[in-house]
Amino acid sequence: MKDNYDLVVIGGGPGGYEAAIRGAQLGMSVACIEKRVHKGEPALGGTCLNVGCIPSKALLDSSHRFEATQHELADHGINTSDVNIDISKMLERKDAIVKQLTAGVAGLLKGNKVDWLQGWGTLEDGTGNDKKVTFTPLDGSEAKSITAKSVILAAGSVPIDIPVAKTDGEYIVDSTGALEFSEVPKRLGVIGAGVIGLELGSVWRRLGAEVVVYEAMPSFLAAADKDIAKESQKLLKKQGLDIRVDTKVNNAEVKDGQVVVTADKGGEISEETFDKLIVCVGRRAYSEKLLGENSGIQLTDRGLVDVDDQCKTNLDGVYAIGDLVRGPMLAHKAMEEGMMAVERIHGEKAQVNYDTIISVIYTAPEIAWVGLTEEQAIEQGHEVKTGSFGLAANGRALAQGEGNGLVKVVADAKTDRLLGMHMVGVGAGDIVHQGMIAMEFVSSIEDLQLMTFAHPTVSEAVHEAALSADGRAIHAIQRKKRK
């Protein structure tokens, strides 16, 4: 550890550690301060690698394989019997994946000569040429003052706690606790039908739990395109998720080792009992010990760090990224913002295209989208045309036993420019990147129509959806006029 650095990054999550590595690549002396302790050990990778994206995907994969073995292999002529799940082994696999990845990040910092400072970082004063940062070590030793020419704030976020359902770490848990159940709950309640609620609810439903999801909003997946949301809700309900929209939880309390939930749907009060309750109603920016009284940083009325389009704060040389700032709380957004910030510090003209940030929900089937929904495009004044194609007519999807779902494209009817791509179906999180790339290069619907897609692939549904926008789909009967 030195007394002075070119760059100090406070936060070692995806945005923070990538910024630190990029800074080192550009010749800066860099320190990355991270206070997280996971399973008793200091850990890099933030929420994403330790208790978010990665461990949840590991459990989603395990639970999906278990369900497929139980209910889907017979269709392939594969006979199984007496199938069971070893929850402790499943959790061991999850933890091993997390450990491998977080250790890998530590190796990357070391290999790039980035100092990993294990503890708390506080920006005391960001107004001068030399920014003042206090580093408080995890080991309890004396806090130390360091200076930096530039600082990137990347402290991330934490789950929102709600008064009506206070988490206790055992019966009422947040998203982190839901990754550690030692056995499958017979009945599981979930507050929040967003990304986290649907993914974690899916994990334990596949493993045998009866799952009820409470959603206070009047519609399901309000951020998604209406057609995709409607299809997704239908498929998830068919799988056994009891999704109750427009239903507000008034109270949740533990009685005799069970969670009693009182909910209100349009004035009708209901009471149900669960073995476990997951609270996942969103996340909030994590700023504890991040800013000193004289840091000089301006915050928004929502408690976020106020930044411009390039993530620069009101102070020269100080940037903030990821969940601390405006926009969706997504790891890949934080990654790109971290890279942009450090390159801006270096004098480059880097920029993030916020119009092409992809959203993915890793249920089965996956739900993903990029760009504008049909409703948003209309609200913004576009004359809209859309095209869609169901996977029930896609040969590759059917061969995989994945014929549920659809692809939808949204375009400007006058210019033919692609404005958005939306999908629910197998591989949606990967396939929707085709829309993102097309939008980055300002492609038209005609561009997609003229491309040759390999056969048989699920991606052919993108081609057919584009053709459908002009009434030209080959593998669907259309009523709209062909051009």
* 105, 179: one domain: no
Classify 98 as helix, strand or coil.
Answer: helix
Per-residue model confidence as pLDDT tens digits over 412-437: 999 999 999 999 999 999 999 999 99
Q: Quick check: 152 and 342 in contact, CB under 8 A?
A: yes
Helix 53-71 / helix 195-206 crossing angle, nearest 10 deg: 40
Final residue belonging to a domain, choices 229, 254, 281: 281
* 151, 190: one domain: no
Q: What's the pTM value of the predicted model, to 2 decimals?
A: 0.96
Looking at the predicted structure, is the pLDDT value of residue 83 above 90? yes
CATH number at residue 409: 3.30.390.30
pLDDT of residue 414: 98
* 142, 180: one domain: no
Whether residue 166 is contained in a domain is answered as: no
Can you give 192-224 as a three-state secondary structure string?
CCCHHHHHHHHHHHHCCCEEEEECCCCCCCCCC
- % of the chain residues with pLDDT over 70: 99
pLDDT of residue 150: 98
* 203, 266: one domain: yes
Of the candidates 138, 156, 145, the residue with the CA atom closest to the CA atom of residue 122: 145
* 256, 288: one domain: no
* 185, 295: one domain: no
Residue 466's H or E segment, with its range, is: helix 460-468
Per-residue model confidence as pLDDT tens digits over 320-361: 999 999 999 999 999 999 999 999 999 999 999 999 999 999
pLDDT of residue 81: 86
CATH number at residue 312: 3.50.50.60
Round to whole Å and give the CA distance between 297 and 315: 7
Backbone angles phi, psi at 63, to 5 degrees: -70, -35
Q: Quick check: 400 and 364 in contact, CB under 8 A?
A: no
* 8, 147: one domain: yes
Per-residue model confidence as pLDDT tens digits over 174-219: 999 999 999 999 999 999 999 999 999 999 999 999 999 999 999 9
Q: Which domain holds residue 116?
A: 4-158+284-352
Looking at the predicted structure, is the pLDDT value of residue 8 above 70? yes
Cis before 456? omega within 30: yes
* 141, 288: one domain: yes
Round to whole Å and give the CA distance between 221 and 212: 16
Looking at the predicted structure, is the pLDDT value of residue 18 above 90? yes
pLDDT of residue 479: 72
Final residue belonging to a domain, choices 248, 281, 314: 281
**Any idea which residues carry the catalytic annotation?**
455
Looking at the predicted structure, is the pLDDT value of residue 65 above 90? yes
* 19, 135: one domain: yes
Final residue belonging to a domain, choices 281, 310, 343: 281
Whether residue 478 is contained in a domain is answered as: no
Of the candidates 64, 18, 68, 25, the residue with the CA atom closest to the CA atom of residue 44: 18
pLDDT of residue 482: 59
Whether residue 479 is contained in a domain is answered as: no
* 347, 367: one domain: no
Whether residue 15 is contained in a domain is answered as: yes
Per-residue model confidence as pLDDT tens digits over 143-176: 999 999 999 999 999 999 999 999 999 999 999 9
Whether residue 323 is contained in a domain is answered as: yes
* 44, 105: one domain: yes
DSSP per residue, 340-380? HHHHHHTT------GGG--EEE-SSSEEEEEE--HHHHHHT
